A and B are shown apart, each in its own frame.
Chain A
Amino acid sequence: MGHRDGVDVEIFSGKSMAVDRSAEALARGAFGEAAPRTAEDPLAWPDPRAVRGKLIAVEGIDGSGKSTQVYLLKRWLESTGHRVFFTEWNSSDLVREATRRGKRENLLTATTFCLIHATDFADRYERQILPLLRAGYVVLCDRYSYTAFARDVVRGVDPAWVRSLYSFAIRPDVTFYFQVPVDLALLRILARGERLKYHEAGMDLGLSTDVRESFRIFQSRIDAEYRKMAEEFGFLVVEATRSAHAQQAEVRAAIQKRLDLPSFRWNSPE
Chain B
Amino acid sequence: MRALRFDGRPVAGNGPAEILPGRLVVVEGADGSGRSTQISLLKQRLEAGGWPVVDVGLRRSGLVGPEIERAKKGNVLGPTTRSLYYATDFADQLENRVLPALRAGFVVLADRYVYTLMARDVVRGASPEWLESLYGIALVPSAVFYLQVSPQALVERNFHRSPTLDYWESGMDLGLSRDWFGSFVRYQQRIEAEFLRMRERYEFAVIDGNRPVREIAQDLAARTLAVLGE
Contacts and interface: CB of A to CB of B under 8 A. Distances in A.
Chain A: interface size category: 35 or more
B87 interface: yes
B63 A107 contact: yes
A109 to B, nearest CB: 5
Given A101-B63, A102-B63, A119-B81, 15 more contacts: A2-B201, A7-B133, A15-B129, A17-B80, A21-B174, A31-B198, A94-B67, A94-B81, A107-B62, A107-B96, A112-B91, A119-B84, A126-B80, A160-B133, A161-B133
Interface stretch (A22-30, A52-60, A177-185, A254-262): A22-30
A118 B91 CA distance: 13
Interface of B: 7-9, 11-13, 62-64, 66-67, 71, 76-81, 83-85, 87-88, 91-92, 95-96, 114, 118-119, 122-138, 140, 174, 190, 193-194, 197-198, 201-202
A115 interface: yes
A119 B79 CA distance: 11
A29 B120 CA distance: 11
Contacts of B96: 107, 109
B138 A21 contact: no
Interface string A2-35: 1110010100000111111100011101111000
Interface stretch (A164-172, A217-225, A233-241): A164-172
Interface of A: 1-4, 7, 9, 15-21, 25-27, 29-32, 43, 94-95, 97-98, 101-102, 107-112, 115-116, 118-119, 122-123, 125-127, 155-158, 160-161, 164-165, 167-168
Nearest to A167: B130
Nearest to A29: B197
Nearest to A28: B197
A33 B138 CA distance: 24
A126 B76 CA distance: 11
Contacts, number: 167
A30 to B, nearest CB: 4
B78 A126 contact: yes
Nearest to A43: B125
B77 to A, nearest CB: 7
Given A7-B133, A107-B92, A122 B201 contact: no
A158 B136 CA distance: 11
A30 B194 contact: yes
A7 B129 CA distance: 9
B79 to A, nearest CB: 6
A125 B190 contact: no
B133 A164 contact: yes
Given A18-B124, A123-B81, A126-B80, A158 B129 contact: no
A26 B190 contact: yes
Given A2-B132, A15-B130, A126-B80, A110 B12 contact: yes
The CB with the most chain A CB atoms within 10 A, among B62, B67, B131, is that of B67
A126 B124 contact: no
